[in-house]
A and B are shown apart, each in its own frame.
Chain A
Amino acid sequence: MIELFDVTKRFGDETAVDGISLRVEKGELCALVGTSGCGKSTTLRMINRLIEHDGGEIHLDGQPVRSFDEVALRRRIGYVIQSTGLFPHWTVARNIGLVPRLLKWPKGKVRDRVEELMQLLGLPVAEFADKYPRQLSGGQAQRVGVARALAADPDILLMDEPFGALDPITRATLQDELRVLQARLHKTVVFVTHDMDEALALADRLVVMHQGRIVQQGSPVELLREPANPFVESLLGGMDRGLKEAALIQVSEHMLPLGPRLLASERIPYGASLSQALSVMLWHRVDRLTVVDEEDIPIGELSLRRLLGAKVP
């Protein structure tokens, strides 16, 4: 659990972070969203004390971060940054094993852990262990970055625009992987991004920041439904908000069992989102879709009327 009480940070005359209070529950993924310069990165880096806060208090599991030795503190917090920050003169395996080695784990244990993580992140050990960072693609490098952050199995993970430098397709893949990973590992994650779609897709809780202050926080749906002000509303996509909300809901949640009527000709997988279902309807100019499972077997149907009535649970 991470708690910020009225935290402030000034650089010279400029107040970068202005009295922020925030509570990230254990196992929660909290996204800090905002335009550049809103203080979200600064906030993140105050948690592992790469930047020291000027006012207020930051607690980890009830203990002020200042009460820890800063080096020891960082070793128990995973940290991922946009440019990966992999050491170019070290192999992938050595990069991943960094923190366990700093913590003086026995050699064999470090090796086992590195291999375990490489498998977890979809990096075949034989192929990647001895490569150098410059031989990796952007997506592979960021996977290594995540593996390195997870190496010593920290409870807390700080991610500073981790997918910001990737192409849209790789980014989407890594977002999916992170979601699966998080469902399995239940880390307490603070995730900084300026990409609202990314935040909506990943976060349990969204914190919108502007000029060093928190403008609004809540679940993605809460923010979509009731943006606190025009700024949050525009950040959330203005008129696109309806689609963004629909993107959060799965077709399977709102389909009806197959009725006596003929099957609709167009199909949609049950794992797709309602916004995708709407798009398919628009494209084919139909108001009914057949919902299919992984084997393309019809398991239900979705009508436009049903879709319009859908509400986030």
Chain B
Amino acid sequence: MGETRQSPNWVLSSLMLAATAAWLTLDAVSVAPNRIVPGTPYAALEVVGGWPALLMAVPMLAVVVLAWRPNRKGLTLSLGVVMALLALLPLWLAAATAVLVTPDMPQARVGIGSALWLLLFLLLLVLIELRTRLGMSRALGWLLLVPMLLGWWLALSLWLEPLALLREYHARSDQFASAVQQHLALVGAAVGASLVVASLLVLAMRRHTGVRRVGFGVLNFLQTIPSLALFGLLLAPLAWLGARVDWLAALGVSGIGWAPAFLALLGYSLLPMVRNIFVALEEVDPAVIESARGMGMARRQVFLQVRLPLALPVVLEGVRITTVQAIGLTAVAALIGAGGLGTFIFQGLGQAAMDMVLLGALPIIGLALVADALIGALSERLRPGGAA
């Protein structure tokens, strides 16, 4: 009774309708004979007579219908449909590539059009909605992505050689690997250093109210400086230091490069880190602290055995926010020669090569999502009395 009387799931149906509309009307792929010439766009319906595209639209509309009276069975069926669609998408792209790129175009480049991006994006949103409705755990949610990833892996390694993104990658795969490495090194160093500095700062803040006021003031101010301006501000003093102090110069400290990037990232990371650690430690239930003291725990014991472990999940939340923020900010660091994935973005912008921009941007998004998920899962595990 309760299940049949469910009201329509508007989120699901509107997302799916939008996805279908985008898929059937917008440009799905573009084909250019080489890197210079702009590509010819094709809608999904223009590829191989359009029947594969229509065939894919049918189950999408089925999900819209199922969303009208959502019950567990219908939602599970929808989930299967969406996962299948996500896995089919790269295969469709491979098929389209095979048809559209003729052997007389050895330099041809296939670009992914707005229809495909939108479909991918909307289907992922639908997946999240379904996961929530079906009450699946986070870990299970990640497993739902496996068919899609397998599909892309298969298509990319076998059939999608003309894909512009892949061509850009193959043209500079060494550079790509080292860019990812630089990116991660910068983020890791900045987040690690800010964790250490922030912890020390918070300890001082907890002891002296004066430090607390000044500390938060300075950090808030730092956060308001635009990132490019901060790089600019650091340029002069670091160049000066690099020129005067030999061992700093030997480390590679100069007005541009990793040093200002690291310092700026550190500066930006400090506020969220300090705020989270501070709040985490302060907000531990006072009754718990009171009873810890009343039981005869010494100050150190109260801190190490009670306050710190109870604060840890919130501290990790700070690390998560800071890491995601730093992964994004590091892109800008490419402008001052610190390397990283931002290099591709700015080079691509300079050459008006959108696929090269994507080569930088997509991995940054991927890294941010993975970092977010991993640290989030860790903090979940550390919740007090977590193993229910």
Within 8 A of B (CB), among A43-93: 45, 48, 50, 71-76, 79, 81-89
Check B295 against A98 for contact (C-beta < 8 Å): yes
A83: which B residues are within 8 A, CB to CB? 285, 287
A102 within 8 A of B: yes
A133 to B287, CA, bound (A): 14
A36 → B minimal CB distance (Å): 17
How many angstroms between the C-alpha atoms of A89 and B388 in the bound complex?
Answer: 11
- List the one stretch of B130-138, B144-152, B175-183, B296-304 in contact with chain A: B296-304
Minimum CB distance partner of A133 in chain B: B385
Report the Cα distance A75→B292, complex, angstroms. Answer: 11
A88 adjacent to B295 (CB under 8 Å): no
Nearest CB in chain A: distance from B299 CB, A: 9
CB neighbours of A87 from chain B (8 A): 288, 292, 306, 310
Interface of chain A residues 87 through 138 with chain B (CB within 8 A): 87-89, 98-99, 102, 132-135
Contact A99 B296 (CB under 8 A): yes
Taking CB atoms, residues of chain A closer than 8 Å to B297 are 71, 98, 102
CB <8 Å contact, A74 and B385 = no
How many Å from the CB of A245 to the closest CB on chain B?
35
Neighbour of A85 across the interface among B291, B298, B384, B388, CB < 8 A = B291
B141 within 8 Å of A (CB atoms): no
Q: Is B290 an interface residue (CB 8 A)?
A: yes
Q: A132, B294: Cβ atoms under 8 Å?
A: no
Q: Which residue of chain A has the shortest Cβ distance to B309 in the bound complex?
A: A89
Count how many pairs of residues, one from A and one from B, have CB atoms less than 8 Å apart in the complex. Answer: 70
Check A132/B384 contact, CB under 8 A, given A71-B298, A83-B287, A89-B309: yes
Per DSSP, chain B at the interface is helix
Cβ-defined partner of A84 (8 Å) among B291, B292, B384: B291
A88-B288, A88-B310 are contacts. A79–B385 as well, Cβ < 8 Å? no
- For residue A148, CB closer than 8 A to chain B, the reply is yes
Q: Shortest CB–CB separation between residue A46 and chain B, in angstroms?
A: 12
CB of B381 closer than 8 Å to a CB of A = no
Alpha-carbon gap, A80 to B385, bound state (A): 21
What distance in Å separates the Cβ of A132 from its nearest Cβ neighbour in chain B? 3
Partner of A88, one of B293, B298, B385: B385
CA distance A75 to B297 in the complex (A): 8
Say whether B296 contacts A85, CB under 8 Å: no
List of B residues within 8 angstroms of A158 by Cβ: 294
CB distance from A95 to the nearest CB of B (A): 10
- The answer to whether A79 touches B306, judged by C-beta atoms less than 8 angstroms apart, is no
A74 and B388 contacting across the interface, CB-CB below 8 Å: no
A79 and B309 form a contact (CB under 8 A): no
A88-B384, A89-B384 given; A50·B290 CB < 8 A: yes
Chain A residues with CB below 8 A from B309, complex form: 89
Beyond contacts A71-B297, A81-B290, A134-B384: 14 other A-B pairs, Cβ-Cβ < 8 A, are A45-B294, A50-B293, A74-B296, A75-B295, A75-B296, A76-B296, A85-B287, A85-B290, A85-B291, A85-B292, A86-B288, A87-B306, A98-B295, A132-B384
Interchain Cβ contacts under 8 Å between A and B, 16 examples: A50-B294, A72-B296, A74-B294, A81-B294, A85-B291, A86-B288, A87-B292, A88-B288, A88-B384, A88-B385, A89-B384, A102-B296, A132-B384, A133-B385, A135-B385, A135-B388
